[in-house]
Structure 1
Amino acid sequence: MTTENDAPAARDMVAGLEKGLLVIAAFDQERSRLSIAEVAERTGLTRAAARRYLITLTHLGYMRHENKLFALTPMVLRLGQSYLHSARLPRIVQPLLYRLAYALGEAASAGVLDHDQLVCVAAVSAGQLVSVTLQPGTRVPAYCTANGRVLLAHLPQPQIDAFLERAQPERITEHTIVSKERLALEIARARAQGYALVDQELELGLRTIAVPLKNFRGDVVAAMNISVHAGRMPREEMVERCLPALIKMQVELNALL
């Protein structure tokens, strides 16, 4: 993650590329079709600039427009596929996720932190589709997910403090922890015990347990989890049955990363 201390100089930045990516990022699940004015509002661009970027992206095939509304095209998936096909982490993790998921008969996934969100980079359902969020490329809040909480727990303490200061937890389900004091305790618990168990905080019925993955230098670079439907497996059974399998796979992956 880039910090203020290692940010590149302005003369080394390509402003047009930065703004073009902002335009693409303005579209999400809630607003899949946007007008020029809405894109301008979401990106901070002028309407004239937003129009130029939208026209350019349409010409390149990344956008389509109809009735003055713009939407992303499947070509945008090439950007994500470039990461999944070229990055070392997903390629190494995916085969072991298959082994883990099919050994337990449950869904498994791996994710990384992107600012305050968790991004899924690899996933295997093993016939158990417990959540649509367990798909490569999906982004969810880090504070209410097991993978996210494990990754937050292994940040340097000043970064954890900064996260808690700027976080605005929302009650996604009746189980979501929204108290920053409780959230701080759960992050500390995950660090102390080496795993996190999150019970229906992101989705009702979704219960997840996760462990961190480290590279050869000992840096935490990702997290890996097992997800089950809450009605099929109690919390205690998750710890007894899933955690040993996770730890076994964690040891193998740490040697490879």
Structure 2
Amino acid sequence: MTTPQASAGLRRDLEIVDLLAQPEHAHGGLGVTRIAELLGREKSQVSRALRGLEAEGMVERDPESLAYRLGWRLYAMAARTAEARLTHVAAPYLRRLVASLNETAHLCVLRGSGVLTLLSVAPSHAFRALGWEGVTVPAPLTSAGRVLVSDWAPDTLRAWATTWLQETNRPAALLDHLLAQVAAIRNRGFAAVDEEFEVGLVGVSAPVRDFRGLIVAAINVSAPKARLGPHLDEAGRRTLTIARELSTALGYSPR
């Protein structure tokens, strides 16, 4: 059972974390004295609390400015929580898309230069699991990967793509192709690939946005070219519709 004293201590710690999370403090951080002033507490008490929070990774101290900011552990917890909620909310939308196309649908997120599949939903004719969940594939070669970077600033996108090309020893000429593909996504709203990731495989993807309007995931449909190829554009449009509905469920409102 949590004692009143422990609850009070936790509440005081959370006040510090909440203060550091405010937009005006999140980047530069705050020193002990300023935190104590803003919270109306003793400096020594705040200093002890910060040391405990730092030991647990909840806050971190800049070695030069000595200001405190939110720590790595909070960001890691937030990321896991956001992905868990995203997967939960997305599941019924993927099932609807699968029912519409009778093909497997995936929910994907970006991890560096790779695409990680968080969730896969297969139709009844898929007799065996494809095993994509938890698997990371090269983002630039996939429709999902291109969608996930499609709202990046041009310089950021070019630098990211160039680094990947160099790391994988691929021809520099591919850069223009990738940039053109991303430009096409911005025009029609979804991406399509035709045997770029794997011979005989085609796919489409559409972006999922959160309440801030940021692309946080992609819905992907991949299948053998002989089956999906003739209907690729239609699959792209249906995937885009479902992705927009999921975005609305996540709080996105187009302006």
**Global fold match (TM > 0.5):** yes
Shift of 1:251: 2.5
Number of residue pairs matched by the alignment: 181
Gap change, CA 1:119 and 1:199, over 3 Å in 2: same
Contact between 2:140 and 2:161, CA under 8 Å: does it hold in 1?
no
In structure 2, the CA distance between the partners of 1:136 and 1:161, relative to structure 1 (3 Å rule), is: same
Structure 1: tracts of 5 or more residues without a match:
16-81
Aligned to 2:101: 104
Alpha-carbon distance between aligned partners in 2 of 1:147 and 1:105, rounded to the nearest angstrom? 19
State which of 187, 195, 198 in structure 1 corresponds to 2:190. 195
Give the structure 2 partner of residue 28 of structure 1: none
Residue by residue over 1:215-253, the C-alpha shift from the partner in whole angstroms, topping out at 9 and shown as x without a partner, is 122111111111121011325x2102x123213212220
- Structure 1 residues 183 and 216: CA distance shift in structure 2, 3 A: same
Deviations 1:30-84 (Å, cap 9, x if unpaired)?
xxxxxxxxxxxxxxxxxxxxxxxxxxxxxxxxxxxxxxxxxxxxxxxxxxxx948
> Is 1:115 equivalent to 2:116 in the alignment?
no
Match of 1:248 in 2: 241
Match of 1:92 among 79, 89, 93: 89
Query: Which runs of no fewer than 5 residues in structure 2 stay unpaired?
Result: 1-25, 30-50, 58-78, 251-255
The higher radius of gyration belongs to: 2
Q: Deviations over 1:187-224 (max 9, x none)?
A: 22222221110111112221101110111221111111
Q: Counterparts of 1:6 and 1:161 in 2: how far apart (Å)?
A: 26
In structure 1, how many angstroms separate the alpha carbons of the residues matched to 2:222 and 2:131? 9
TM-score of the pair, normalised by structure 2: 0.61
* Correspondence for 1:229: 224
1:212 paired with 2:233, answer: no
> 1:133, 1:140 within 8 Å by CA — same for their partners in 2?
no
Identity %, equivalent residues = 27
Within the alignment, does 1:144 sit opposite 2:141 as a pair?
A: yes
- Give the root-mean-square deviation of aligned CA atoms: 3.6
Alpha-carbon distance change, 136 to 186 in structure 1, aligned in 2, over 3 angstroms: same
Contact 1:130–1:206, Cα closer than 8 Å, also in 2: no
